[in-house]
Amino acid sequence: MATGIPKKTDGKKTVEAMRLEYPGRRPVEEILQTPPATLLQEGKKHPHNNRLIFADNLGALAALAQDESIAGKVRLVYIDPPFATQSVFQSRKLDHAYKDTLAGAEFVEFLRERLVWLHQLLAYDGSLYLHLDERMVFCFGVVLDEIFGSRNYKNCITRKKCNPKNYTRNTYGNIADYILFYTKSDNYVWNRPVEPWTDERVAKEYQYVEPETGRRYKKVPVHAPQVRHGETGKPWRGMLPPPRKHWQYPPTKLDEFDAKGEIYWSPTGNPRRKVYLDQSQGIPLQDIWMDLRDAHNQNIRITGYPTEKNPELLRRIILASSRPGDLVLDSFSGSGTTLTAASELGRRWIGIDNSPEAIRTALKRFAVGLEPIGDYVNEKPKRPASLPLFDERTEKSLEAHVTIEDFTLYAEPSLVEELRLLLSKSTSKT
């Protein structure tokens, strides 16, 4: 049940901040008392300090919050947690990957506790992307409003995850999932993603060509809704803005545009601004993403790990909400898609997972890249007889893949021996 919590926003108004109420809900203060996990380093520490951590992520996040080099310095968090499907997932080779058996209030609290810690770890100008299905996204909009503040909600991105389903009879085909995008503050890293212009869209949107220069342009209004009483509400060239509107720019700025020939005057004397195609970097990306289906639904290379995401999805998010050298964190790192994309884009990274199959898959991916699927199967690429994790390299087998070696492995004490077994199997002859 969602309940309202009175919260004052200024001296005059009181608004209702929503939160979920359910059995087992712990206060934030209690969550932040979670004992930090002991994380033992396995092998040599790499100076870049990228980390792959084999542990339960709640205790691991509490431990990272005690590290001054990490706490408050994570620029971007992307997580793709279990969706409360009550299922057991296997890899393409039928190896057990993980159980997604939490449901209802138990699942909500499981994830909420981790989101509280992730908020602690984020930098002031950091961002969080939470990937969910249609059943959980509505609950966690309320949860994230509570943790991050509703003012820091930015988008609910709808992603087409697969091809249309022909077997649907009594409902609409389920081909979408959702990504909630929140920031820690109003001042956050943002590199606006754009799509390239196509000839068709250029012809439709930039319909005019300037005879003197040959530059394509479109005409846009120089006024905007709502009345203003400052400079933008004053007359310009002897005319006021239309009723219930104001100028988009002060009259002095409009004069500058006009002096440069960037104002179009209609035969009736109506001013419009010229916006040129060559000044546009592309089409601003919207919040419906049709081009980033799951890896299993496209003719691309994959690891075969269940719920594996398209690498281009992570590249888009990382490029939009971080800069080179920034720290990216994925506390449900699975097959390592986020970590690999971060490495390719020059970001530092931390990945956490408690599934042996996830750690094994990520290590193999770091070493030799992805497996063929679809038409790629017919290519029959060469594969190495062993999996080089740190020091070994192969030649043709790594054609488009750069081995990722600049990371340090950590594990909880109870998982150290299992990690060593994973490493020994990964480097043995097959």
Nearest one of 348, 61, 376 to 338, comparing CA atoms: 348
For residues 308-328, give the mean pLDDT. Answer: 95
Q: What is the mean pLDDT of residues 257-282?
A: 93
pLDDT tens per residue, range 177-221: 999 999 999 999 999 999 999 999 999 999 999 999 999 999 999
Interval 38-58 mean pLDDT: 92
Q: What's the distance, CA 404 to chain centroid?
A: 21
Q: What token pair was written down for 242? A: 């239309």
Task: List the single range of 53-57, 157-161, 169-173, 225-229 with lowest mean pLDDT.
Answer: 169-173
User: What pLDDT, on the 0 to 100 scale, is given for residue 76?
Assistant: 98
Confidence of residue 298 (pLDDT cuts 50, 70, 90): low
pLDDT at 418: 93
Identify the residue with better confidence: 161 or 8.
161
Query: What pLDDT, on the 0 to 100 scale, is given for residue 168?
Result: 63
Task: State which amino acid sits at residue 183.
Answer: T
3-state secondary structure the chain: CEEEEEEECCCCCEEEEEEECCCCCCCHHHHCCCCCCCCEEECCCCCCCEEEEECCHHHHHHHHCCCCCCCCCEEEEEECCCCCCCEEEECCCCCEEEEECCCHHHHHHHHHHHHHHHHHHEEEEEEEEEEECCCCHHHHHHHHHHHHCHHHEEEEEEEECCCCCCCCCCCCCCCEEEEEEEECCCCCCCCCCEECCCHHHHHHHCCEECCCCCCEEEEEECEEECCCCCHHHCCECCECCCCCEEECCCHHHHHHHHHCCCEEECCCCCEEEEEEHHHCCCEECCCEECCCCCHHHCCCCECCCCCCCCHHHHHHHHHHHCCCCCEEEECCCCCCHHHHHHHHCCCEEEEEECCHHHHHHHHHHHHHCCECCHHHHHHCCCCCCCCCCCCCCCCHHHCCCCCCCCEEEEECHHHHHHHHHHHHHHHCCC
pLDDT band at 394 (very low <50, low <70, confident <90, very high): very low
Q: How is the chain split into domains, by residue range?
A: 22-193+286-427, 196-279
**Looking at the predicted structure, is the pLDDT value of residue 69 above 70?**
yes
The domain defined by 22-193+286-427 carries CATH number 3.40.50.920: no
pLDDT (tens digit per residue) in 361-383? 899 889 887 765 443 334 444 44
pLDDT tens for residues 248-261?
Answer: 999 999 999 999 99
Q: Which of 90-99, 127-136, 278-287, 395-404 has the lowest mean pLDDT?
A: 90-99
pLDDT value at residue 329: 98
**Is residue 88 over pLDDT 80?**
no
Mean predicted lDDT score pLDDT of the chain: 84
